[in-house]
Structure 1
Amino acid sequence: MPEQKLTLFRDNIAAFGGDPKQITIFGESAGAASVDYYNYAYTKDPIIAGSIGESGTATSFGNKLPSTAAKN
C-alpha cells in the first residue's frame, strides 16, 4: 500500500510544480525506521530519489527487547 500512495503522489506532483524524479521522503524516530524499511523493500524500482531518516533505522527497534538488552 505505501508504494501505491507514493505512486499517486508521483503521478500528480507535476500539477503542483514539483518534479516527479526528485521526490524525497523524510521520517523521524519510528518514521525514520519506516523510511529505512522502504529503502530495503523497493530497491529495484524506487519511486523516490532520496530519503532522510532522523534518529531511527530498520534495525534500531530490536535493541529494545529485554533479551537483547540482557546480552549487551
Structure 2
Amino acid sequence: MTKSGQERKNIKPGMEVDIVLKQDQRTGKTTRGIVKDLLTKSPNHPHGIKVRLADGQVGRVVEIIEKS
C-alpha cells in the first residue's frame, strides 16, 4: 500500500519515500531516501511535495513507502 506524495499532511520527517530529482524529471527515474525537511509550504501540490532527503538530495515525492 502506497500513499500519494501530493499531500503535505501525508509526509513527515523520518519517512521513507521515492522522489524524482530535478534532473530526472524527464525520465521519471526515482530515488529512495529518508525525508529530512519538507520544502513545499502549500498543503498539496500536483507534482508532489518537494522534500530534502537525509543525504541532502532535493526532489518531489512520487510515493511514500509504507512499512508493512
TM bin (shorter chain): under 0.3
Compare relative contact order (CA 8 Å, sep 6+) and give the higher one, 1 or 2. Answer: 2
Give the structure-1-normalised TM-score. Answer: 0.22
TM-score w.r.t. the length of structure 2 is 0.23
Structure (1/2) with the larger strand percentage: 2
